[in-house]
Structure 1
Amino acid sequence: MKISLNWLKDFIAFEEDATVISKVLTDTGLEVEGLEKFEEIEGGLEGLVIGEVLTCAKHPDADKLSVTTVDIGADAPAPIVCGAPNVAQGQKVVVATVGTTLYPAGGEPFKIKKAKIRGEVSEGMICAEDEIGLGQSHNGIMVLDTDLPNGTPAKDYFKPETDQVIEIGLTPNRADGASHFGVARDLKAAFRRPTIFPDLSTFKVDNQSNPVEISVENQEACPRYSGLTISNVEVKASPKWLANRLKSIGLAPINNIVDVTNYVLHGLGQPLHAFDLAEISGKKVVVKTLASGTKFTTLDEKERELTDKDLMICDDTKAMCIGGVFGGINSGVKDSTTSIFLESAYFSADWVRNTATRHSIKTDASFRFERGTDPNMTVNALKYAAMLIKEVAGGEISSEVIDIYPSPIADFEIDVKYKNIDRLIGKEIPHDRIKEILGDLDIVLSDETEMGFKATVPPYRVDVTREADIVEEILRIYGYNNIELEENYGADYLAAFPTPDKDKIQSKTTDFLAALGFNEIISNSLTNPDYVAKTELWDPALNVEVLNKLSEELGVMRQTLVFSGMESLKYNINRKQTNLKFFEFGRIYTTSDGEYQEKEQLALFLTGDQTDESWSVDKKSIDFYSISSTVHKILDKFSITEFDSVPTDNPVFDYGLDISKDGQLLVSLGKVNRKVQKVAEVSQDVFYAEFNWAKMLKKYGKKILYKAVPKFPEVRRDLSLVLDEQVNFQQILELAKRESKKLVKRINVFSVYQGDSIGEGKKSYALSFILQDENKTLNDKAIDKTMNGLIASFEKDLNAIIRK
């Protein structure tokens, strides 16, 4: 639910900014989930000023251009080349200064730059109304009739409306907060300021020329029904103030009559419906149910089959509207409408909820009715709407207010004891403060004693029916944050998280790798010194030699786990087991200057085919991406989601990557060096990863952040880039993140090509870009702006060619 702060000020006075209002509302139980800016004119006319054309002459090299000098309030006049046919000396005009971004109607935004046009310097732009979003006309520049000084911001002349809009995640129990006035009532209690209700003192019935007879046959489903008629109205577009109010909360204006009903709905929380009086047969409105199987076509042009549990608004011959849910296709306000019947009712929440669910219809009206509206609001909302309709559509009120309310809905009466308030809150709040809070919430106290009181709750608070609900009302206004936590509250379960148990983490990792199809190996820490000597990839001086060695083949402690795993691979491959996945937790050892070092590592080994031979699956060898996928899954299990990845210089690999976090190397992975394979006598390619286990344990489970699931959809766009073959995906990724980190959420390579058709030394990447805005649905303008920015960056920084 969106709330406009400008609109909210109609119901309560405040000077606090949107951040403060958001915090206060959240503390009172109306949780603010988002904050956005509304601009009547996109860009708010920033950078646009009022200027005066001092000189105007024909461009020497272009018949349709003029060279002007314009006083924009700067030290010197601005030279501007203008293509408008109506530009002339002495005009007051709107000028976009250098550096201003313009948002034209129906076009892409663009920035004004200093330029030369056919050899003449131009430092700005004299604007037409469509070029700044004020209208659709492009017949010529705007010529203003104003005495404002040159250089005055254009927004001071046009006064475009801006607003702050907060989005409230309304819980089902807070039906009372489903309007601007409802939100104001909470601020009234929080700030201890009065609310402002629309002044109805000037309401009057002009005549009784168009009365309507109303009959409510089903009073269980419709306890209260109010209405009146308004004649001689003119259906047209709404005035600017009304349209802007609706636009600010995401509603599209329709016409002045319908817009008023929506305005009152979101302002006061009372749904209304306007019927074309000419479509009401016999000038009779009957609230009743119809026989099961009756067909009815709603405003969305869908024919629906009714049941005898659907409350209908009918005339003397036909159904016109599903009560509290949705209007009919013929009875609503049209351009030709001249008289209306305006309905304001209180419908049973149960009946509306069942009907809306049965027909899968959810409207702004049903949203409120099925949670519970205020039965005491119908007549006031009706009068307010009638006055507004007269203001924006003319006409006169042509009937008395008809109000059928045979059995008024009673207030809730609740007995409350102070001891229960203290017990449930855990703190003694002064009785005077309790009375203040409840009074500010329109809850009347009576039968007061030292022990307690009787609370009378108005029926619009459908969620306050028990003593515990009264306590909750007190607490949410007093402030949950004002309840101190003390030792005797038994909050010891909030103890600090224990240090992760490394044995449990290793056990969980073992189970996880086993679930991925890996087998664990445990090998000897003693190894053959020839491995280091023959490969020449490690420094023999770092070997830790065994003094009482059993054999020369086991003469040193291992510097790496790779040879231990290669020995196991060799043993299995020689016995025709070629598709292998191994892992090992082990230690490596080195010495330098008499100092000995011991490090724990986790090693992964992959070789052979990705799956066993099968008729249903194509044969595919294990590759770098197989080991990379497993490594990333382990990092994800450790909640390590953001890290740096660079090509490795580890000698054990032919090629591979180093993955680091906060400057600490966590894992190296890649294809095992051919020298290592040859010395280990393993003939097939092996892919290997080694984790620094101690550093992995330190990163385990740290900084686990929750981010709410976005409510707005993703958008995918694809690009095909031809690049120099030395450009890697990491460069593309980093550039894309830098240029458009706000909207681009994921980038994926789904095709790579190298061949004669794109040239030697080149490769082609086909990329998918997933774009998403957490605060609103993306439109084509924002998507195209982002993609065009990425394309420009790829072309400039990576020398990319975009394939069409």
Structure 2
Amino acid sequence: MTISFDWLKTLFPTTLPAAEIGALLTSSGLEVESLTELESVPGGLRGVVLGTVLTCERHPDADKLSLTTVSVGDDTPRQIVCGAPNVAAGQRVVVALEGAMLHPSTGEPFKIKKSKIRGAASEGMICAEDEIGLGQSHAGIMVLDTDLPDGTPAAEYFGLGSDTEIEIGLTPNRADAASHYGVARELRALLGQPAHLPDVSAFAAPASGETITVTIEDDQACPRYAGLLLDNVQMGPSPEWLQRRLRSIGLSPINNVVDVTNFVLHELGQPLHAFDADQITGGKIRVKRAEASEKFVTLDGVERSLQAEDLVIADANGAAMALAGVFGGKTSGMSNATTRVMLESAYFAPAVVRRTSQLHGLKTDASFRFERGTDPYMVPTALKRAALLLQEVAGARIAAPVVDEFPHLIPNNQVHLRLDRVTRLIGQEIGEERIREILEGLGIKIEVATGNEWTLAVPPYKVDVTREADVIEEILRIYGFNNVALKPHNSASFLSGFPNPDPEVVRQKVADLLSGQGFSEILTNSLTNSQYFEKADAPDASLVRILNYNSQDLNIMRPTLLTSGLEVVRHNLNRRQRDLKLYEFGKTYQLGENGKYKEKNVLAIYLTGNVTAETWQHASQKAAYHDVAGAVQQVLAALGHPQPGSQPTQHPYLAGGLTLLVQNQPVVNLGAVSPAVLKRLDVSQSVWYAELDWDWLLKKYKATLVARELPKFPEVRRDLSLVVDLGVTFDQLRTIAQRTEKKLLRDINVFDVYAGDRLEAGKKSYSVSFTLQDPTQTLTDQAIDQVMQKLIQQFEKQAGALIRK
């Protein structure tokens, strides 16, 4: 579920930053999965201000250019060369200052720099609307009518504000929080501040008028149904503020009527539906069960065969116009010719909506909420809110009184609460006054308080609070799990894992992994020869020297495991053992600039010779970079870091290779050992080497068991061939793809690389596969093409890629 922080603040005014609000919601059980900054205009118009043209003269060396001086609110007016035909002295204008990054409506972003144009200095730019991404016009500069002082940020003048998209992993039991107002209610309980419903006091319906009658024929399936007739409706696009609100939560605007119903749904959690009133035969609505095998065409143009258990909204003749709480019908939907609208706001039984939704494979925002349980007492408020908005954005007129059929009131759920039970289940005494505050914030009323026992009235929108234990869980959520102190004598009837891993257990786990891949563990001496590391005329001050060494070959503590490992390789090569896969856990030692000794645990991996032996079926295969890299990747994955970043290595003993990054921390160096080092240690064949920072990896070790539900819908593969500069790495392409498509992209893989005479110099070609999957539905060709088009655009923009057809 996506929440707009800016929208949320209209219902729960707060000065707390979005990150703090996100932490509060997570602590109470509404897990915030991500916080994403949104901008109305790319770049947020940073560095763009209001100014006044003080002077305007023709450029001495160009007929179509003007030489202006512009005040931007400081002591020094700017000289700006302007090519717009409408620039003149005295105008209030929009000025991009030096250093501002502009994002035009078309074309690439560009930075404003101090420059000379036809010999005249220009210290900024007077902007047209397309140059700052606010429109398409390039006929001339924007001329403003405002009293705001020079230097005022343009974003403030245009009402552009940043927003934060809050992504909440809503659990099925929290239907009460499936809206902005639902989240505001949660914050009310957490912070003890009021949450405000939208003001609908201006709603006024006529005492009489032509209306549409409503008959509920199954009040168990539909306990409440309200309708309102509006006329003089002018169909069209929504105003910018409404479109911006919908886009902030990932919805696409459709038209003003549909947009209002979607807006109210996500604001209050109450689904609405709009019928074209002129298509309601007989001026009557019947809420009834469908006829068996009745044919019904939904808004998506699909003809469906209904069953007798389906609840429908029908006209006077009994013909279905909508699947109640799920989807509307094609014949009664909005069109450009619609002028009269019947707004529906209702409460449907969750089980009925759930069955229809599953039977017909229809999952909508409305069914998501109805099948989990909505608030029956929000029905009239949502109806009035929508009517007032339609008056504002569509010129609608309320034509008749509200029709509200509510044959049987839905009572609050009564729960008996024992205070000593609260203390026992939580394990800590909270205090009667604090419990009262929490219950009040949650909207739960105390009807009777007799000593230790209270009778509570739980509102119907709290669908998951039906027992004493549920109420205690609510109290604990708001009180805070972190506020419950752990006592020394606390005990449990089971043994849980300890949070800090046993270093020997983790080491053995990795050792078993490498041994299972055919590697042999070695154990070498911590003492080595200083001549491996020193030049003849430059002693290495970082070496840890042995003061009373017995042998010149063992006169320092090793600064790296590489040399002692290469000694083992040399020993085996001299005995005709040329195919080696080795690893070692060991310590390295260095003397820091501050005179303090540094001891570090390292895992070293060595690979040389062939990785597969020669047989009658296939030839032998020499060890390569990807063999040692694959072993390293498996070690990192076993330690909880499956997708490290990478950059070219700067390791002094390697001839090329990569440094792998985890959480932007360099933790692995791997590549081919430098020929100079091999020659110094008299090793006669190439060696691949990897060095892992074992201390850091052990510190960040995460022993997590990840379980996921098996996907119900198929994955799709698409391939691209990209021509890029030689310096562009696959890791950069993978990062671009993961940032561009977070929801559907499951995997990205390179299956071919080519650099040769068929490409221009300095270029190479990657053949890349993309695996896409939606866990909620089968992907359509249209959705797949949209994703691939986004990826192509970003590869072209960020990596300078050419897509080969």
After TM superposition, the score normalised by the length of structure 1 is: 0.77
Cross-structure match for 1:279 = 279
Cross-structure match for 2:445 = 444
CA distance change for structure 1 residues 370 and 752 in 2, over 3 Å: closer, same or farther?
closer
Tell me how far 1:453 sits from its aligned partner.
1.4
**Mean alpha-carbon deviation: is it higher for 215-224 or for 635-644?**
635-644
CA distance change for structure 1 residues 742 and 406 in 2, over 3 Å: closer, same or farther?
closer
- Quick one: distance in 1 between partners of 2:725 and 2:463? 64
- Quick one: distance in 2 between partners of 1:384 and 1:722? 56
CA contact (8 A) 1:606 1:627 kept: no
How do 1:396-407 residues align onto structure 2 when only pairs under 5 Å count? 396-407=397-408
CA distance change for structure 1 residues 190 and 714 in 2, over 3 Å: closer, same or farther?
farther
The percentage of aligned residue pairs carrying the same residue is: 42
CA distance change for structure 1 residues 241 and 524 in 2, over 3 Å: closer, same or farther?
closer
- Quick one: distance in 2 between partners of 1:523 and 1:464? 61
CA distance change for structure 1 residues 765 and 786 in 2, over 3 Å: closer, same or farther?
closer
Tell me how far 1:14 sits from its aligned partner.
3.2
Tell me how far 1:513 sits from its aligned partner.
3.7
CA distance change for structure 1 residues 428 and 51 in 2, over 3 Å: closer, same or farther?
closer
Q: Which runs of 5+ in 2 are unaligned?
A: 526-531, 533-549, 556-561, 589-600, 709-715, 772-785
CA distance change for structure 1 residues 678 and 162 in 2, over 3 Å: closer, same or farther?
closer
Q: Does 1:253 align with 2:250?
A: no
- Quick one: distance in 2 between partners of 1:623 and 1:186? 57
Q: Does 1:408 align with 2:409?
A: yes
SS at match of 1:387: helix
Tell me how far 1:416 sits from its aligned partner.
1.6
Cross-structure match for 1:8 = 8
Cross-structure match for 2:472 = 471
Deviations 1:565-586 (A, max 9, x none): 677678888xxxx9x5654779
Cross-structure match for 2:598 = none
Cross-structure match for 1:300 = 300
Tell me how far 1:281 sits from its aligned partner.
1.4
How do 1:283-682 residues align onto structure 2 when only pairs under 5 Å count? 283-315=283-315, 316=317, 318-490=319-491, 500=502, 502=504, 508-509=509-510, 511-517=512-518, 520=520, 542=552, 582-583=581-582, 604=606, 606-608=608-610, 610=612, 613=615, 620-634=621-635, 636-637=637-638, 646=649, 670=673
Instruction: Determine which structure has more spread, i.e. the larger CA radius of gyration.
Output: 1
SS at match of 1:225: strand
Q: Does 1:702 align with 2:704?
A: no
- Quick one: distance in 1 between partners of 2:94 and 2:803? 38
CA contact (8 A) 2:58 2:67 kept: yes
CA distance change for structure 1 residues 74 and 188 in 2, over 3 Å: closer, same or farther?
closer
- Quick one: distance in 2 between partners of 1:472 and 1:80? 65
**Mean alpha-carbon deviation: is it higher for 272-281 or for 290-299?**
290-299
CA distance change for structure 1 residues 278 and 497 in 2, over 3 Å: closer, same or farther?
closer
RMSD over aligned CA atoms reads 5.0
CA contact (8 A) 2:224 2:406 kept: yes
SS at match of 2:43: coil
Letter in 1 for 2:338: T
Cross-structure match for 1:217 = 217
Cross-structure match for 2:114 = 114
Cross-structure match for 2:183 = 183
- Quick one: distance in 1 between partners of 2:410 and 2:253? 35
After TM superposition, the score normalised by the length of structure 2 is: 0.77
- Quick one: distance in 1 between partners of 2:340 and 2:236? 13
- Quick one: distance in 1 between partners of 2:211 and 2:796? 60
CA distance change for structure 1 residues 30 and 418 in 2, over 3 Å: closer, same or farther?
same
CA contact (8 A) 2:741 2:787 kept: no
Tell me how far 1:247 sits from its aligned partner.
2.9
CA contact (8 A) 1:2 1:165 kept: yes
- Quick one: distance in 2 between partners of 1:497 and 1:199? 50
CA distance change for structure 1 residues 98 and 354 in 2, over 3 Å: closer, same or farther?
same
CA distance change for structure 1 residues 351 and 614 in 2, over 3 Å: closer, same or farther?
farther
Deviations 1:112-165 (A, max 9, x none): 222223333222222222222332222222222334444333344333344444
- Quick one: distance in 2 between partners of 1:523 and 1:24? 50
- Quick one: distance in 2 between partners of 1:402 and 1:588? 80
Tell me how far 1:464 sits from its aligned partner.
0.2
- Quick one: distance in 2 between partners of 1:76 and 1:587? 64
Letter in 1 for 2:151: G
- Quick one: distance in 2 between partners of 1:618 and 1:106? 56
SS at match of 1:463: coil
CA distance change for structure 1 residues 587 and 736 in 2, over 3 Å: closer, same or farther?
closer
CA distance change for structure 1 residues 785 and 228 in 2, over 3 Å: closer, same or farther?
closer
SS at match of 2:99: coil
Letter in 1 for 2:236: K
How do 1:14-29 residues align onto structure 2 when only pairs under 5 Å count? 14-29=14-29
CA contact (8 A) 2:658 2:671 kept: yes
Q: Does 1:266 align with 2:258?
A: no
- Quick one: distance in 2 between partners of 1:659 and 1:49? 43
SS at match of 2:377: coil
- Quick one: distance in 2 between partners of 1:657 and 1:161? 42
CA contact (8 A) 1:740 1:790 kept: no
Deviations 1:568-627 (A, max 9, x none): 678888xxxx9x5654779999xxxxxxxxx99977555346376576x78754434334
SS at match of 1:361: coil
- Quick one: distance in 2 between partners of 1:289 and 1:584? 71
CA contact (8 A) 1:565 1:582 kept: no
Tell me how far 1:689 sits from its aligned partner.
4.8
SS at match of 2:457: strand
Tell me how far 1:755 sits from its aligned partner.
6.1
- Quick one: distance in 1 between partners of 2:755 and 2:788? 35
- Quick one: distance in 2 between partners of 1:164 and 1:663? 31
Cross-structure match for 2:104 = 104
CA distance change for structure 1 residues 125 and 425 in 2, over 3 Å: closer, same or farther?
same
CA distance change for structure 1 residues 405 and 128 in 2, over 3 Å: closer, same or farther?
same
Tell me how far 1:639 sits from its aligned partner.
5.9
Letter in 2 for 1:40: S
CA contact (8 A) 1:415 1:455 kept: yes
- Quick one: distance in 1 between partners of 2:798 and 2:282? 63
Deviations 1:61-111 (A, max 9, x none): 444333333333343432222222222333222222222222222443222
- Quick one: distance in 2 between partners of 1:132 and 1:171? 41
CA distance change for structure 1 residues 279 and 161 in 2, over 3 Å: closer, same or farther?
farther
Tell me how far 1:770 sits from its aligned partner.
10
- Quick one: distance in 2 between partners of 1:228 and 1:744? 42
Letter in 2 for 1:249: I
SS at match of 1:301: coil
Tell me how far 1:323 sits from its aligned partner.
1.1
SS at match of 1:488: coil
CA distance change for structure 1 residues 663 and 278 in 2, over 3 Å: closer, same or farther?
closer
Cross-structure match for 1:528 = none
Letter in 1 for 2:26: T
CA distance change for structure 1 residues 370 and 706 in 2, over 3 Å: closer, same or farther?
farther
SS at match of 1:376: helix
CA contact (8 A) 1:212 1:229 kept: yes
Tell me how far 1:341 sits from its aligned partner.
0.7
Letter in 2 for 1:299: L
Letter in 2 for 1:229: L
Tell me how far 1:270 sits from its aligned partner.
0.7
Cross-structure match for 2:780 = none
CA contact (8 A) 1:744 1:771 kept: no
- Quick one: distance in 1 between partners of 2:480 and 2:61? 72
Letter in 2 for 1:433: R
Letter in 2 for 1:82: C
CA contact (8 A) 1:672 1:688 kept: no
- Quick one: distance in 2 between partners of 1:24 and 1:521? 48
